[in-house]
Chains A and B, each alone.
Chain A
């Protein structure tokens, strides 16, 4: 009897070891990237290339370099459909996966919901070019990283571009600028900055909301027809952008007086309108095209082997490139963290956070990574979670996007006090205290 129990116990122990051993081994060497994406719903045409870019870059790094310093990169996609509740579900599903590095929620609404949860779970969020504008302040938002720019920097750059075109900020006085925006946190975020700018530069700001998802804009453009603003800023996403351009065409509003945010400046936004969108300007965080070395590598190591995530022609499109950039920055954060906490090890969320806070991608490093000319160098710090505030203007010529300006830096003198004040109010509302300088040194 006793022998039998021992035998059974031994067998059980063996079975347990057999089951747990491979997974323990796998855990040791895999950095996991949860990929929240939306390939269905009204925003799918824009969400899909973005998601493909992230996935293809991961595949390419695994195929070309065998991961980061020998740590293999794994991923799992979770479909959110751009809905906040589904996004929260995805986050909960993927956050406890071993080796989880960081989240890119891919939606402003989901970012808002996760901003509360990330500090508890100690997982950083990167929100490249979207999310909460005040989270630029790393002393208040320890876990948020709006790399490359926020809606406030974007709005400021558009105003600067318009001023330049008019011949100086003093020429903006008495002008009328309309903001046609997606009626959601995404669209409303730039308003405080624009109001500040309107007060400073003396232009009149007209706010024209469009109900999500944005296919119904007749009333909005009727207002544009009535009030004839000097410029229209387009703060749209997905189907809203092409609809707005079609409506502008129908209204007879000159397209070259329209400036879109960087989420309104990709191929799906203008392709259907084609010639009708000719002259339309938008902000560009990155270039497009298949010439950069990184795209060539993706074609060579992923698509040539038939493992591409999407159609080959989409590689290098604006949003695809943005997905690649986001994944590259995530990888580099892991690499930076590894340089401090141990090469060839799987980084924890806290360590990746440190890596994100100490990113320093110089032009030379970007060139080495194959991103020559694609984007601006970026360098973050404990206090500055954005790293770069510049963007260029691109213009649609009826067939493709062309970069038509130099990099324009957002005006820190306006944005900084607003970020400080907003972050202070946020902390006060939540009854939290800002981080101490000592906290910046810590890895946690």
Chain B
């Protein structure tokens, strides 16, 4: 009843082509943004900002990037951690070497470095597909691990190989409070997610999806695979690179190559698979699942154990956390192999008939 589109007629192309054609969706998204921008800053504590919300936002951004490549264009990549690293170190080098470099420009330039890197390591995708491509993108990961450990110029000749940034500013405002960092990440995420959503709805997104569904057929109808695949690599690695720079600059502050290890690549891929391939919304669900769930489990398990009258050691908690987390992944993927985004749309479908299902 609540979610009925009866009577919502679209009389113009404009109305038909908007991102959320159903009023309820628009209201929901509007309310969500209002909560994110206006209510959360009032309610959240410092811990919530620094440890949960900011990582969630940054990983959502990265997951959007990975989803474009893996979900929309069907190019499985295990090099996402490398793209993050290139974005982070690229932005860092621009910050350190160019005096007076504004943060936003450095982030974009870092993203562009990641774009070039992504295109370079996207070249094998013209020849190999699927799992074979996943393995070749692993090369990007290992190459970046090697590069940032060995080429000391890239880390500004830091003796220990770890680099840091400080005194971050956006438009003259210092970016030191957790609230400021939250707003900064949130605004970037909203802008980039909107751009990405429009990109995948447009001609270029349709090309990516055509390549994903069947590249031979796509080529036959006149889509250039070279252009489509490399543009997917470029756009995706730009977004991942910006997310990497945010992760390094805003969340960690000081980082080393291990912050962007192959684990990070896997995490990003899991986010997309669990959240839902080929869905911008799914990227947020996936990031939420991977970032927030382990923390939520590690916070709630001791309380739960205490309620049951048993005490549980730290090691026990972290093992239990891994087991529950792994179990949930398996369960989710069996129940809904298309990810959480699909569950979301099933929910919406059900709501259309509610409360009188037939």
Contacts and interface: CB of A to CB of B under 8 A. Distances in A.
B317 interface: yes
B167 A430 contact: yes
A208 B50 CA distance: 37
B46 interface: yes
A112 B160 contact: yes
A92 B314 contact: no
Contacts of B318: 39-40, 79, 81
B219 interface: no
A183 B254 CA distance: 17
Given A92-B50, A430-B167, A113 B314 contact: no
Interface string B28-67: 0000000000000000011100110001000000000000
A184 B260 CA distance: 12
A431 B159 contact: no
Nearest to B252: A113
B161 interface: yes
B204 to A, nearest CB: 33
Contacts of A422: 159
B322 interface: yes
B325 interface: no
Interface string A76-114: 011101001100110011001000000000001100110
Nearest to A82: B258
Contact of A188 (B47, B159, B315): B159
Contacts of A44: 315
A310 to B, nearest CB: 9
Contacts of B161: 184-185, 188
B166 A188 contact: no
B24 interface: no
Interface in A45-64: 48, 51
Given A79-B314, A430-B166, A85 B159 contact: no
Contacts of A37: 314
B93 interface: no
Given A112-B160, A112-B164, A116-B253, A93 B47 contact: yes
B251 interface: yes
15 contacts: A39-B313, A39-B318, A79-B317, A84-B255, A84-B258, A85-B251, A85-B259, A88-B51, A89-B51, A92-B47, A96-B46, A116-B164, A185-B162, A191-B159, A212-B258
A183 B252 contact: no
A431 B317 CA distance: 42
B195 interface: no
Of the candidates A77, A113, A132, the one having the most CB atoms from chain B within 10 angstroms of its own CB is A113
B77 to A, nearest CB: 21
A291 B317 CA distance: 33
B5 interface: no
B176 interface: yes
Contacts of B51: 88-89, 92-93
Of the candidates B50, B161, B251, B318, the one having the most CB atoms from chain A within 10 angstroms of its own CB is B318
A77 B314 contact: yes
Nearest to B161: A188
Of the candidates B149, B299, B314, the one having the most CB atoms from chain A within 10 angstroms of its own CB is B314
Contact of B252 (A40, A85, A108): A85
Contacts of A183: 149
A84 B259 contact: yes
Interface in B282-304: 295, 298-299
Of the candidates A78, A89, A212, the one having the most CB atoms from chain B within 10 angstroms of its own CB is A89
Contacts of B253: 113, 116-117
Given A79-B314, A96-B45, 7 more contacts: A39-B313, A88-B50, A109-B162, A112-B255, A116-B253, A116-B254, A185-B161
Contacts of A84: 252, 255-256, 258-259
A418 B140 CA distance: 37
A209 interface: yes
Interface in B69-105: none
A120 interface: yes
A192 interface: yes
The B interface is mostly helix, strand or loop, or mixed, namely helix
- For the complex of A and B, 4 pairs with smallest distance between CB atoms: A39-B315, A185-B160, A92-B51, A77-B314
Contact of B258 (A39, A51, A184, A209): A184
Q: How large is the interface on B (under 10, 10 to 19, 20 to 34, 35 or more residues)?
A: 20 to 34
Of the candidates B47, B145, B252, B299, the one having the most CB atoms from chain A within 10 angstroms of its own CB is B252
B252 A431 contact: no
A189 interface: yes
A115 interface: yes
B154 to A, nearest CB: 14
B218 to A, nearest CB: 39
Interface string A5-35: 0000000000000000000000000000000
The A interface is mostly helix, strand or loop, or mixed, namely helix
A188 B259 CA distance: 16
Interface of A: 37, 39-40, 44, 48, 51, 77-79, 81, 84-85, 88-89, 92-93, 96, 108-109, 112-113, 115-117, 120, 132, 183-185, 188-189, 191-192, 209, 211-212, 309, 422, 430-431
Contacts of A113: 252-255
A108 B299 CA distance: 25
Nearest to A87: B252
A116 B166 contact: yes
B350 interface: no
A245 to B, nearest CB: 24
Given A85-B259, A113-B253, A431-B167, A188 B160 contact: yes
Contacts of A81: 318
A161 B352 CA distance: 78
A227 B35 CA distance: 64
A203 B252 CA distance: 38
Contact of A85 (B55, B149, B166, B319): B55
A191 B159 CA distance: 7
A149 B165 CA distance: 26
A51 B315 CA distance: 11
Given A81-B318, A112-B254, A184-B258, A92 B166 contact: no
Contacts of A191: 159
B141 to A, nearest CB: 12
Interface string B119-153: 00000000000000000000000000100010000
Contact of B149 (A39, A40, A209): A209
Nearest to B145: A211
A379 B36 CA distance: 50
